[in-house]
């Protein structure tokens, strides 16, 4: 091949490589999220920007509109600063009041983060089940124990874990008699370590409808 043609091919090849690199950089720039605090993301200057914001889910701020989860997160360093979030890709069982939420998306003109990537983090808590009642034992007391503070233990019934937006968060089954179960209401976050069959210790009370209203959910330290 003549030297002139080799030089021409080398120049053309170099131009193609540069164009490809610029295209990759352009695409990457369009998908990169800027880390912001809740306070920063709540400012008018954040509108239209793709961001990643970490905050705490404000208690009872969430609602479901069709398939869209709407909620608010607060700034861990300044709880008075809040940001609305809208997420339409399903709700995990780890979502709930007080959970740390890492949200990626774009701030719209109304100052709401239109989230397309949501990660929730809830630290695992442990409690001993030594002095806790089993599910069967709790139910055996009947109406005498309704609305009385109590600690119970059991295992998560397979296939019953649901998001915080569900009336029943999960069903707890008796360890000795898995057929004996009780529906549990809990609006807080659940650790990602909780799944089907996980041993739990709950604090709360049984209501008149036979549902356990939990005020605390912990992993059984004796099973850890």
- Say if CB 163 and CB 109 are below 8 A apart: no
101: CB partners within 8 A, 6+ apart:
54, 55, 56, 57, 71, 73, 85, 95, 118, 119, 120, 121
Tokens matching residue 94: 């780890």
Burial 75-99 (b: 16+ CB within 10 A, else e): beeeeebbbbbbbeeebbbbbbbeb
Three-class SS state of 16? helix
The reply to whether 126-220 shares the fold of 33-121 is: yes
pLDDT digit string (tens) for 162-203?
Answer: 988 889 999 999 999 999 999 999 999 899 899 999 999 999
d(CA 119, CA 199): 24
**Token match 């030089």: residue?**
7
The domains of the chain are located at: 1-32, 33-121, 126-220
pLDDT digit string (tens) for 68-84?
Answer: 999 999 999 999 999 99
* pLDDT value at residue 3: 54
What's the topology of domain 33-121?
OB fold (Dihydrolipoamide Acetyltransferase, E2P) (2.40.50)
The CATH number given to 126-220 is 2.40.50.140
Over 50: is that where the pLDDT of 116 sits? Answer: yes
Please state the pTM of the whole predicted model.
0.75
Q: Which of 154, 161, 168 has its CA nearest to residue 194? A: 161
């Amino acid at each position: 091949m003549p030297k002139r043609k080799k030089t021409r091919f080398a120049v053309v090849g170099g131009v193609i490589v540069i164009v490809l690199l610029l295209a990759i950089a352009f695409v990457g720039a369009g998908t990169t999220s800027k880390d912001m605090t809740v306070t920063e993301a709540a400012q008018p200057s954040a509108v239209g920007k793709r961001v990643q914001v970490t905050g705490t889910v404000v208690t009872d701020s969430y609602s479901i509109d069709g398939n869209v989860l709407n909620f608010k997160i607060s700034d861990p360093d300044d709880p008075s600063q809040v940001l609305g979030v809208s997420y339409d890709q399903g709700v995990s069982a780890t979502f709930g009041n007080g959970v740390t939420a890492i949200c990626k998306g774009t701030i719209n003109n109304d100052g709401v983060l239109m989230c397309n990537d949501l990660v929730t983090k809830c630290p695992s808590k442990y409690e001993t089940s030594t002095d806790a009642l089993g599910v069967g034992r709790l139910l055996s007391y009947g109406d005498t124990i309704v609305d009385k503070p109590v600690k119970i233990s059991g295992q998560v019934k397979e296939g019953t874990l649901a998001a915080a937006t569900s009336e029943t968060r999960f069903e707890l089954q008796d360890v000795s008699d898995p057929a004996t179960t009780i529906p549990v209401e809990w609006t807080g976050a659940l650790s990602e370590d909780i799944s089907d069959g996980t041993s739990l210790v709950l604090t709360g009370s049984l209501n008149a409808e036979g549902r356990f209203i939990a005020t605390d959910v912990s992993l059984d330290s004796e099973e850890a």
